[in-house]
């Protein structure tokens, strides 16, 4: 759902991407720095309970995901390697965010159940991305579903921020449970989509 806003934010950050190009910075370097920043924000601040600070740090680096892509297109260097690197490092960033929240709930947050819910949301989010990648490697499509990556990322960051600032931990509880369920449903949706394509193609059906 939120993917429709990607172009808007890409245009907003075009001046930054053009400046980095002039400075000789490569898109891959931006990808690595962005992932490192997200991981640091999540794994340094979340386990200590500094949730709103962690969200601000993460958000600042999340936009690198838009900047590196725009840089690659501008330079004409978009490649399979860039797409692979970006997708792979996205999984690491997501793991850091949900993993950092899980560590907090296991420790200072004192809520083991919610920690396991965060880990389940992490696993299902990764499987969602894997399902799409595997389907595309087989010549099929598995896009869509009720919880794509942008939806999951924005939801968990926004509600984590307000849960901490407004001292309303229920917001974080609600979003983690919702994402765990929605991600699981999305995996099922993508599996059904691929199954329909496979059954419709005699060459791929068993």
Active-site amino acid positions: 90
The answer to whether 171 touches 162, Cβ cutoff 8 Å, is yes
The answer to whether 182 touches 147, Cβ cutoff 8 Å, is yes
Whole-angstrom CA distances from 58 to 33, 85, 130, 141, 158 are: 12, 19, 23, 30, 11
User: Which segments of 45-168 does DSSP mark as H helices, in order?
Assistant: 51-62, 64-75, 80-106, 112-137, 149-165
């Amino acid at each position: 759902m939120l993917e429709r806003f990607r172009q808007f934010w890409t245009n907003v950050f075009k001046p930054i991407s053009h400046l980095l190009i002039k400075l000789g910075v490569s898109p891959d370097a931006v990808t690595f720095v962005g992932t490192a920043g997200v991981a640091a924000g999540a794994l340094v601040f979340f386990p200590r309970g500094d949730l709103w600070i962690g969200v601000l740090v993460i958000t600042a680096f999340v936009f690198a995901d838009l900047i590196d892509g725009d840089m690659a297109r501008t330079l004409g260097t978009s490649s399979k390697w860039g797409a692979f690197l970006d997708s792979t490092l996205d999984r690491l960033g997501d793991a850091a965010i949900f993993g950092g929240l899980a560590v907090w709930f296991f420790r200072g947050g004192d809520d083991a159940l919610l920690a396991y819910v965060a880990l389940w949301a992490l696993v299902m989010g990764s499987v969602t991305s894997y399902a799409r990648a595997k389907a595309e490697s087989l010549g099929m499509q598995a896009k869509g579903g009720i919880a794509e990556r942008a939806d999951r990322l924005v939801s968990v960051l926004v509600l984590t921020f307000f849960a901490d600032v407004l001292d309303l931990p229920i917001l974080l509880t609600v979003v983690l449970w919702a994402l765990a369920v929605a991600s699981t449903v999305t995996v099922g949706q993508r599996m059904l989509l691929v199954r329909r394509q496979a059954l419709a193609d005699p060459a791929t059906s068993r």
